[in-house]
Structure 1
Amino acid sequence: MDKWTKPVIVIWVDLETQNHRLMARDGTTEEDAKSRINAQMSLDLKRAKADIMLDNTGSLADLNENFQKVLVQVTMPLTWTEFARSRQGAIVALISIFVGFVICRKSL
């Protein structure tokens, strides 16, 4: 889905921190936590595919601050090029072509 979705945002944390947080949250053993983490795509691979990466190795307040910056970035209006490449731009183009075709047919 990353090919059709922009931007791809990944919240990244190092493996050790991820393991400790998972064990603390779920009360699982280290072996179970590692098994769950290994069953997923690695965060480093996700980070390589990401357009935007948020570092989650700090505190929750740090993550929230970084998230607010990213939120401003992704809610900015699109440029004309970005709009033309978006789903909405494609729909507007198709509707415009259809309306133009109907108007030309009526005038002939």
Structure 2
Amino acid sequence: MGTHRRLLRRIPPRSLHIVCHLDFVPELRDVNARYVELRSVVQGMESHIVHLTTRVQEEEHRADIAEGRLIALEEQFVSEAEEEEEEEEIPAHDVDSDADSTIEDA
């Protein structure tokens, strides 16, 4: 800072504001560098969010397909169970259905 004070003594007063602004140049560079770095991080995060959102949508689609298949299997199982119940309710007619016939008639 001693160098700056010596410089300020040599510079006319109306030019002092220019020198003062030059003191901020390194700080502005740091701010700009941090901004660029943060912008890069934000862009990376946005890209990652888009990627994750796409994956979630794909998984939801797969879940919908699996749910549809599960419902179809449940319906098929219920239908087959109902058919089996109906078959069990109807007696088997392997013999002659004539009630008057007996083994002795043969």
Q: What's the TM-score, normalizing by structure 2? A: 0.30
Greater relative CO (CA pairs within 8 A, separation 6+): 1
- Bigger radius of gyration, 1 or 2? 2
Q: What's the TM-score, normalizing by structure 1? A: 0.30
Per residue, is there more strand in 1 or in 2?
1
